[in-house]
Amino acid sequence: MIIATPTTADGQSAAAWGKAHWIGVADVQPGTDGPQVTAWQIHEVAWDESHDAGTHGSHHARIVRFLKEQGIQAVVVDHMGDGMQRVMNTMGIPLLPATPGDAQASVLAAVRATTA
């Protein structure tokens, strides 16, 4: 499963989705001891800079393009605006709860919580 989450440059969980500067993308696969991150990449998306450049629709379109390009199947996040939540719902992308600290650990905790 390909999962996105807002991060800091050094891989810690970040607060907001639509104003994120960095997005971590994890490929999570089943392992013998539960889910494991088998690939991890941090993308500099700079949505914090582009958020107020143009309409909300154009900003949402940038995010949707990223989600489609990366093949995102779920998002781990602690905050997302109502409009973006509707977009995620329309796309069929589940929102999973984030936890503070290491972003990869947050992704794994969210996956474990949904499969428990």
Q: What is the pTM of this model?
A: 0.94
Q: Which residues contact 101 (CB under 8 A, 6 or more apart)?
A: 12, 13
Task: Give the CATH fold of the 2-115 domain.
Answer: Nucleotidyltransferase; domain 5 (3.30.420)
pLDDT of residue 112: 94
pLDDT of residue 16: 86
Mean pLDDT score across all residues of the chain: 93
Instruction: Spell out, as residue ranges, where the chain has pLDDT lower than 50.
Output: none
The domain limits of the chain are 2-115
pLDDT of residue 116: 66
Q: How far apart are CA 63 and CA 29, in angstroms?
A: 24
pLDDT of residue 53: 75
Token pair recorded at residue 16: 């907001």
Residue-wise pLDDT for 40-49, tens only, equals: 999 999 998 8
